[in-house]
Amino acid sequence: MVLFRPRQRDAPSRQRKPREAALPKATGKQPSSQSMKHSLVGLTSIAGVATRRRAALAAVLAAGLMTGWTLSAQAEVPTQVIALVNGEPITALDVAQRQKLTEISAHKQQSRQEALDELIDQKLKLQIARHYVIDITDKDVESAYDGMSRHAGLTSAQFSQALSQAGINVEALKVKIRADIGWGAIVRGKFQASLQVGERDVQAALQARKKDDKPDVAYLYTLRQILLIAPRGVPDSLLEARRHEAEGLRTQFQSCDQGVAIARALKDVAVRSPITRTSTDIPVQQRQVLDTTAVGHLTPPETTQLGVEMFAVCAKQETHGDGAEAHEVRDAIAAERYEAQSKRYLLELRRAAMIEVR
């Protein structure tokens, strides 16, 4: 993607006269990213809001495919235009699709107004991308979509099937991906100076961490998440059966190579790719679980919204110095500044836009 010289105005041109009584409040509100907060991955990841949400969506949709979810289609939802953003329409079907996407990815019910606000923001992001002549190619979008599929352990075709079974239109998701790609390029390009993280900032954050309950000796863990799928709403008997399966797998699991093969042979089991986490970024309770789990074995099973979850501890290596931790701190500060700047700029665009809600 290439960021070219912008035109004279930052905001998209107004195309329609607004109706004063119909203008929504410009909140610039961003959706929550805490859908996986009870898992080790969710608790320790600092990769960024968009990545976490995609990971949560991929995991849930993988579960949906393997268990054969079937949800009602959206054919009954009316397609009337309910809002205009600088002359571009948002329909009732768009809102219903966004609510379904949020329900599946974040495990929460989204109000109609919240979904509409997200779609208004999405329109503004796409419009400003065109204003700045951001080249978001179909290849960029497909690459991001393929990444979501791989994270779920599925092919793109299987992932699309899971989306359809969950009641989500594939093209609607790809439009959101396109908006997020363009928006990231604009914010990082336009506000590059304010997003820089200095060494002084990193050292101050490191000193603050040392005042917390971080251990003197840090470890680098290589983990693999193993999920025995039992989606929300299944009978308690099925969930208990899955827990017994998990305990049985745990007794057979003696190494990652051997144990992963056994896990994959079980029905409705998802095995994620290896991830690395440092002990300094793992909450105390989860860190204690990892400390008491031998390398090559599984952590005790934990019931989540997706089923029964365990982590295989494939490697545990002592780390020296603050190099890895400093890198993670720098990334966390950069992500925080990006989110703050993103909200401010989006609020600015909302104030300049012509938004009509019918």
**Can you name the residues that pair with 226 across neighbouring β-strands?**
271, 310
Give Dmax over CA atoms of the chain in angstroms. 68
Note the pLDDT of residue 23.
34
**CATH 3.10.50.40 residue ranges for the chain:** 213-319
Residue closest to 298 by CA, chosen among 338, 330, 252, 336: 252
Note the pLDDT of residue 153.
72
Q: Find out if CATH 3.40.50.2000 is the number for domain 213-319.
A: no
**Can you name the residues that pair with 223 across neighbouring β-strands?**
275, 313
Note the pLDDT of residue 165.
81
**Which phi and psi angles does 222 have, rounded to 5°?**
-110, 120
Each of the 358 residues of the chain gets a pLDDT tens digit; together they read 433 344 444 444 444 444 433 333 333 343 333 333 333 333 333 334 444 455 545 554 444 444 333 334 344 445 799 999 999 999 999 999 999 888 877 778 899 999 999 999 999 999 999 998 888 899 999 999 988 888 777 788 888 888 888 788 899 999 999 999 999 999 999 998 888 888 888 888 877 776 555 555 678 899 999 999 887 778 888 889 999 999 999 999 999 999 999 999 998 899 988 998 887 778 778 888 998 899 999 999 998 877 899 999 999 987 754 566 677 788 889 889 999 999 999 999 999 999 999 8
Give the CATH fold of the 20-196+331-357 domain.
Answer: Triger factor/SurA peptide-binding fold (1.10.4030)
**Which phi and psi angles does 89 have, rounded to 5°?**
-85, 150
Note the pLDDT of residue 164.
85
Note the pLDDT of residue 86.
96
Note the pLDDT of residue 282.
80
Note the pLDDT of residue 211.
58
Q: Cα–Cα distance between 226 and 273 in angstroms, integer?
A: 10
Structure tokens at 358: 């019918």
Note the pLDDT of residue 125.
95
**CATH 1.10.4030.10 residue ranges for the chain:** 20-196+331-357
CB 87 within 8 A of CB 354: yes
Residue type, 327: H
Note the pLDDT of residue 27.
39
